[in-house]
């Protein structure tokens, strides 16, 4: 089987062998596309992101309570619970279990909605920073050294914005942070020689104000850039809403009180049937149900430093890296024709002789595949292109 010929004149493109479908299939045969989450079954022993350590002590307390109930019901000398004939049916478990299931599901779903809302808004921040960086770095053409410095300063503000937002959500005041201070020091209010405190400022909004002042100097691009800045301001408001609006205390208190009543009454309901097995059953029941409640509390505020919080540091680093790469790249308008060379036959920058060689080789490869009965239209098209070049 012949290898397809690379019909490309210039640019960093793959070689013909890399386009071979058989070769590509062999190379990817052992690959398995996975989610970015690399959790495996071995993680059942991992405690770094687990809530088990946080609920282990309360669960052991419930196990101790179940042990007392079992002793006072089973041991003959002290089995006064059996003598008193305390409730020992499963009806209470069924009634409370249904209510507990609804309460716990609502608790976790509400907390996860807040977690997911935070992730969506951070995705908007990432997109709008990219969008605004494109406007500033590509559309704005500095006409002097001063304008070039102002352009770089605006790009630095884009790097500073997500970091400022992260610190604001974590209630870390001021601007003197390693990932924030160096990118805002060219602003008068945040310079190294400023002695006054900036702890009372909403720094993300301050950064957006300075960005808006910069884009106002270029009326031709002001409207789309202002829309991006408005979207970033809206993202700040949405994240602050999630951060400062807790789940109502009445709900969380009622859930915890109902959960404790359920777990305390559980041993009395199962001790007759399970005897000494009441202790481990109560322990694992408490471990599971308390763990679900703690998970809700863990992800309710996803802007902290816990393992289960949003990786805001990674988001900020990714945005800063992308913007830095944009600033480090060559002028994107310097060569406006290189990427269309294989298709632009009327462009005087195209090396027609090299293109004819590649197209002729592709035509020959198509002829060799003629016995397959496929790609006849490719043969016809390539023949016409070669005839145009030769003429």
Look at residue 56 and tell me whether its pLDDT is greater than 70. yes
Q: Tell which wins on pLDDT, 295 or 174.
A: 295
Query: Tell me, what's the pLDDT at 112?
Result: 93
Query: Tell me, what's the pLDDT at 13?
Result: 41
Find the mean pLDDT for residues 123-140: 92
Q: Tell which wins on pLDDT, 158 or 347.
A: 158
Spatial separation of the C-alpha atoms in residues 226 and 218, rounded to whole Å: 11
Residue of 231, 235, 228, 233 lying closest to 132 (CA atoms): 228
The secondary structure of 54-117 as a DSSP string is: HHHHHHHHHHHHHHHHHHHHHSGGG-HHHHHT----SHHHHHHHHHHHHHHHHHHHHHHHHHHH
Query: Tell me, what's the pLDDT at 19?
Result: 47
Look at residue 367 and tell me whether its pLDDT is greater than 80. no
Spatial separation of the C-alpha atoms in residues 315 and 170, rounded to whole Å: 15
Query: Tell me, what's the pLDDT at 247?
Result: 87
Spatial separation of the C-alpha atoms in residues 219 and 207, rounded to whole Å: 20
Predicted confidence (pLDDT) per residue in 332-354, tens digit: 555 544 444 444 444 444 455 55
Query: Tell me, what's the pLDDT at 207?
Result: 92
8 Å CB contact between 111 and 270: no
Task: Show the CA angle centred on residue 74, arms to residues 68 and 76, nearest 5°.
Answer: 110
Find the mean pLDDT for residues 126-155: 90
Find the mean pLDDT for residues 33-44: 64
Residue 74 burial (CB count, 10 A): 16
Query: Tell me, what's the pLDDT at 59?
Result: 93
Query: Tell me, what's the pLDDT at 139?
Result: 87
Find the mean pLDDT for residues 22-31: 53
Query: Tell me, what's the pLDDT at 229?
Result: 94
The secondary structure of 123-159 as a DSSP string is: HHHHHHHHHHHHIIIII----SHHHHHHHHHHHHHHH
Look at residue 388 and tell me whether its pLDDT is greater than 90. no
Query: Tell me, what's the pLDDT at 6?
Result: 39
Alpha carbon distances (Å) from 63 to 47, 73, 91: 21, 15, 21
Most confident of 65-74, 122-131, 268-277: 122-131
Residue of 158, 106, 150, 110 lying closest to 131 (CA atoms): 158
Q: 3-state DSSP call for residue 17?
A: helix
Predicted confidence (pLDDT) per residue in 65-102, tens digit: 999 988 888 887 777 777 676 666 677 777 888 888 88
Residue 312 burial (CB count, 10 A): 22
Question: pTM above 0.75?
Answer: no
Q: Tell which wins on pLDDT, 80 or 269.
A: 269
Q: What percent of the chain has pLDDT over 70?
A: 67
Residue of 111, 117, 118, 113 lying closest to 252 (CA atoms): 111
Query: Tell me, what's the pLDDT at 24?
Result: 54
Look at residue 329 and tell me whether its pLDDT is greater than 80. no
Most confident of 137-146, 176-185, 275-284, 321-330: 275-284
Look at residue 49 and tell me whether its pLDDT is greater than 50. yes
Average pLDDT, the chain: 77
Query: Tell me, what's the pLDDT at 308?
Result: 87
Alpha carbon distances (Å) from 61 to 51, 58, 64, 261: 16, 5, 5, 14
Query: Tell me, what's the pLDDT at 61?
Result: 94
Q: Tell which wins on pLDDT, 374 or 170.
A: 170
């Amino acid at each position: 089987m012949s290898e397809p010929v690379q019909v490309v004149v210039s640019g960093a493109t793959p070689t013909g062998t890399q386009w071979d479908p058989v070769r590509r299939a062999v190379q990817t045969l052992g690959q398995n596309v996975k989610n970015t989450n690399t959790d495996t079954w071995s993680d059942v022993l991992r405690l770094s992101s687990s809530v088990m350590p946080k609920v282990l002590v309360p669960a052991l307390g419930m196990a101790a309570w179940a042990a007392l109930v079992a002793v006072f019901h089973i041991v003959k000398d002290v089995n006064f619970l059996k003598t008193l004939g305390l409730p020992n049916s499963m009806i209470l478990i069924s009634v409370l279990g249904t209510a507990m299931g609804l309460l716990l599901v609502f608790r976790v779903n509400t907390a996860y909605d807040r977690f997911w809302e935070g992730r969506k808004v951070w995705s908007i921040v990432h997109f709008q920073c990219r969008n605004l960086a494109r406007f500033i770095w590509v559309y704005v053409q500095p006409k002097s050294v001063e304008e070039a410095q102002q352009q770089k300063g605006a790009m630095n503000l884009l790097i500073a914005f997500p970091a400022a937002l992260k610190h604001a959500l974590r209630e870390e005041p001021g601007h003197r942070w390693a990932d924030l201070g160096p990118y805002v020091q060219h602003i008068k209010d945040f310079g190294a020689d400023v002695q006054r405190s900036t702890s009372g400022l909403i720094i993300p909004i301050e950064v957006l104000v300075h960005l808006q002042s910069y884009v106002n100097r270029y009326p031709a691009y002001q409207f789309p850039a202002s829309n991006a800045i408005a979207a970033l301001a809206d993202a700040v408001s949405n994240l602050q809403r999630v951060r400062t609006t807790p789940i109502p205390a009445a709900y969380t208190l009622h859930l915890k009180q109902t959960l404790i009543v359920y777990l305390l009454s559980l041993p009395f309901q199962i001790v007759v049937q399970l005897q000494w097995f009441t202790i481990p059953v109560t322990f694992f029941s408490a471990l599971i149900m308390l763990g679900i409640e703690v998970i809700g509390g863990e992800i309710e505020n996803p802007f902290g430093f816990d393992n289960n919080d949003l990786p805001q540091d990674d988001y900020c680093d990714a945005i800063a890296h992308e913007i830095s790469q944009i600033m480090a790249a060559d002028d994107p308008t310097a060569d406006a024709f290189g990427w269309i060379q294989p298709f632009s036959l009327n462009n005087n920058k195209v090396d027609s002789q090299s293109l004819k060689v590649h197209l002729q080789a592709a035509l020959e490869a198509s002829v060799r595949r003629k016995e397959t009965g496929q790609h006849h239209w490719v043969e016809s098209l390539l023949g016409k292109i070669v005839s145009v070049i030769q003429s």
